[in-house]
Amino acid sequence: MKTDLSPRAKVALYGLMCVLLIPFVFPTWWMVTSSVKPISDIFAFPPDLWPRRFDWSTYQQVFELQPFARQYWNSAYIAAIVTIGTMLVSSMAGYAFARIRFPFSNTIFMIVLMGLLIPSEVTIVPLFQLFLSWDMINTHWPLILVPIFGAPSVFATFVMRQFFIALPVELEEAARVDGLGRFKIFWTIALPLAKPALGAVAIFTFLHSWNLYLEPIVFLSSTQMFTLPQALTQFTDAYGGAMWNIQLAAATMTAIPVLLVFIVAQKQFVEGLAHTGLKG
C-alpha cells in the first residue's frame, strides 16, 4: 500500500531504523564479544566492538566456579518437560472448551480463566508452604508442576481454545459419523491442524520457564539444584563484586537454547499469532 516512498524517504527510514537498533542490538553484541575479552579490556573506553585479544579461558572458569553443566541441564530438562506438559494439558482443555458441549463448561471456563487474573506472585507464600509440607522444597517439582497445571498454563489454554474455535467443524464431523471417539478425533485430526497455535504456545512456555527467577530463588537452596537465571548472579568474587567476564560468558551460553527453539518454531510462532485472535 505504501510503495510510493521517494529515495530520500527510504534513506531517512533506513537511517532512523539503524539508530533505533542500537539499544536493541548493542547489549547482546557487547555481551558476546566481551565474554572472550580479558577482564581489563572489558572496561576499555571507548568499548571495543571486536575483541583486541581473545581469552577463551573464561568459558572454562564458568564450569570450574559452579556446577554449571548440572545447572544448565536443570534448566533445560525443566523447560522441556514444562513445554511438552503445557502443550498437552492446555490443548486438551482448550479443545474441550471450544468443541465439546458439556454441562457447566462456561462456568468452568470462567473459573479456569481466574488463573489469568491471579499471577503466581500472589500465591507464592502459600505455594511455598504447600511444597514445604509435601517435602518438595529444594526439588524441581514446584518448577514443573505449577507451570504445567497452574496459572501459567491458563494463557496457553486460552490461545488453544481460540484456535480450535476458528477451526471448521466439517473436518471432524466425518470422523464422528464414522464413530471415532473424542480422544481419537482430537489426537489424529484436531491436534495436527493446531501446529501453528502449538508453536506459539511452545515458545511462550519455553521462554517463561527458561526465564523463571522468583520461583527458583524461593524454592531452591543448593547450588546443585539451581537453574541458570539463578546461577548467573552467583559469579561473584570474595567481596561480592561481579566477575563480569565470567558472568557474560555464562550469560552468552544461556542464550543458545532459546535461539535454537526460535529457529525451529519461528514460522509456527508468527502463524500462531495470526490465528489466535490477537490479530486485529
Partner 1 sequence: MHMRLAADTTPRKPAFWTMARRDAASGYAFIAPQLVGISIFVLLPLGLVFYYSLHEWNVLANTFTFVGDANYQMLLRDPNLPQVLWASAVFSAGLVVLNMSLALLLAVLLDQKLKGMVIFRTLFFSPVVVSLVAWTIVWSFLLQANGGINGMLAMIGVEGPNWLRTPSTAMISVIVVQVFKNVGLNMILFLAALQGVPKELYEAARVDGAGRFKQFRRITLPMISPTILLTSIITIVGSLQVFAQIAILTKGGPGVSTTVLVYYLYQQAFQFNFFGYGSTLSILLFAIVAVLTFIQWQMRKRIVFYEN
Alpha carbon distance 186, 172 (integer Å): 9
Q: Closest distance between partner 1 and the C-beta of residue 276, in Å?
A: 10
The stretch near partner 1 (CB under 8 A) out of 49-57, 62-70, 152-160, 191-199 is: 152-160
What is the three-state SS of 32-78? HHHCCCCHHHHCCCCCCCCCCCCCCHHHHHHHHHCCHHHHHHHHHHH
Q: Closest distance between partner 1 and the C-beta of residue 274, in Å?
A: 5
Instruction: Write down the residue that cell numbers 572496561 correspond to.
Output: 43
34 Cβ partners below 8 Å, 6+ apart? 41, 42, 51, 244, 245, 248
Which set of grid coordinates corresponds to residue 10? Answer: 527510504
Query: Could you tell me if 55 and 38 are in contact, meaning their C-beta atoms sit under 8 angstroms apart?
Result: yes
Which of residues 197, 220, 225, 248 is near partner 1 by CB under 8 A? Answer: 248
Which of residues 39, 69, 110, 130 is near partner 1 by CB under 8 A? Answer: 130
Q: Closest distance between partner 1 and the C-beta of residue 236, in Å?
A: 11
Query: Could you tell me if 161 and 99 are in contact, meaning their C-beta atoms sit under 8 angstroms apart?
Result: no
Within 211-230, which residues bind partner 1 (CB under 8 A)?
211, 213-214, 217-218, 228-229
The stretch near partner 1 (CB under 8 A) out of 54-62, 65-73, 153-161, 191-199 is: 153-161
Within 182-201, which residues bind partner 1 (CB under 8 A)?
182-183, 186
For residues 78-91, one letter each, b for 16 or more C-beta atoms within 10 angstroms of the residue's C-beta and e for the rest, the string is bbebbbebbbebbb
Q: Closest distance between partner 1 and the C-beta of residue 64, in Å?
A: 19
Q: Which is nearer to partner 1, 171 or 255 (CB)?
A: 255
Q: Which is nearer to partner 1, 67 or 277 (CB)?
A: 277
Number of residues that bind partner 1 (CB under 8 A): 95
Within 59-98, which residues bind partner 1 (CB under 8 A)?
89-90, 92-93, 95-97
Q: Which is nearer to partner 1, 69 or 122 (CB)?
A: 122
**Residue 21 within binding range of partner 1, rule CB under 8 A:** yes
Question: Cα(first)–Cα(last) distance of the chain, in Å?
Answer: 18
Alpha carbon distance 275, 189 (integer Å): 18
**Residue 138 within binding range of partner 1, rule CB under 8 A:** no
Q: Closest distance between partner 1 and the C-beta of residue 132, in Å?
A: 10
**Residue 202 within binding range of partner 1, rule CB under 8 A:** no
Which of residues 43, 54, 73, 77 is near partner 1 by CB under 8 A? Answer: 43
186 Cβ partners below 8 Å, 6+ apart? 92, 95
Within 99-128, which residues bind partner 1 (CB under 8 A)?
100-103, 105, 108, 111-112, 114-115, 117-119, 121-128
Alpha carbon distance 215, 142 (integer Å): 8
Which of residues 188, 221, 224, 233 is near partner 1 by CB under 8 A? Answer: 233
Q: Is 179 helix (H, G, I), strand (E, B) or coil?
A: coil
